[in-house]
Structure 1
């Protein structure tokens, strides 16, 4: 076969292939927590010919990934939207923590944020009156830091033992699978009536905060109180609050219902379109 000649000597097929290839020379794989992996082909063993050891967390993580390649829908926070971005400090926080990404204002830390509803299934509407998930993963040089949160500063329960009961109460009735993505049914309010500690978050749920105008215009909270430790070994209690530079905006309930009737993907579409047009959300 005769060699084909290309204008300028360039092979368009190779150029196209180059868009989908990555040079990984000199790079290393990481665990889920960002720890570099030296060997993912051999397990740790007891001696030269001994059995594999369960203390090999890299092996366990690899097998866990394999076992979960077909992931069933999550029970809560199934409906979500995410975006990549970066985190920058306004000022160093060395007084409170020795974490490097919180000590150098010149560092841009890659992040991934996921916003979600809680009650509904993956195919449910964005426009339900619901608490919103606000989770952020920081990809730092020291490892990945996960900050799980919601758009309310408090939660329904104080003890994790009650969490399965809360979820069972708020989910659709088991006999008819209704209502979908809604708390307006007897089992939920029966649970709430027996848990006075949930009243604070109920007021948040019944406010406009539970039907935000956009994912870009809602606050985020780490909910829990965390302890930071600085280089001197001193500890401080801290809480995380995300304040949208776009402002905090909500919808009227009637307005929310009309939007849901026309576009169940309203929040997801709004986030996608804003980023696509260069209107990047900031907190």
Structure 2
């Protein structure tokens, strides 16, 4: 049976947190599809090359998110931040080419809540290290925070204004690296975000603070903790446009995998399932293996998703 590329992990929506419960990756989620990508597979779902977008909810509008330009851009999942492909790209977040005492940081340049640009900001030599608590100046997408060079303040609480310092990826989009143990590189929002986020198990959904465990667009063998952008929807058979627009335990898939889904929707929230104990809610659905036989990384052998088998 051919494996159909379906997940919307490549289109993540990340929301900044000064005005919400935290940055959210949805649609971040260009993770590219996390299924089998072997030669001969067909792609029927939303374009897995759509870049992820990270946004921040507004201070007074519950559940509101800024989806940015995900799906409308010609940029692939990992965009070239040095060539000015995005708006107001003043520095290189991979090369960190700002003057001494400064760092290249993602921010929102349009008054919105989605990181969409890069600029040089002060980097406190005594700033917080990775894992330390941090604060932001102004709001969660200002780009100015108390974290040291090589990190940014992430998952900022809207009430306290505090978050945690996370590392930026090093290397390049083609050869990304993360120093902190247990993390993997996620690139989102047309390349202005390059973050080392925790890896996780999609069956356990073992992320902290209510984050979602979704496939990583840069590394299809890894799953990563991403902010929840589902709002009041995101459960079984709900429509979705981004990888992180479904609740924990669900993944945004092509509607062809459930007869209960809206066939006109861009995606549909369907649950992960355990191949060793398969249970699925839809008519004629099976628990389909996420990885090709023999290709699952250690510990992920039982990861599946609910769907109608495609011939």
- Taking structure 1 as the reference length, the TM-score comes to 0.27
The answer to which structure has the higher strand fraction is: 2
Instruction: Compare relative contact order (CA 8 Å, sep 6+) and give the higher one, 1 or 2.
Output: 2
Larger radius of gyration: 1
The answer to which structure has the higher helix fraction is: 1
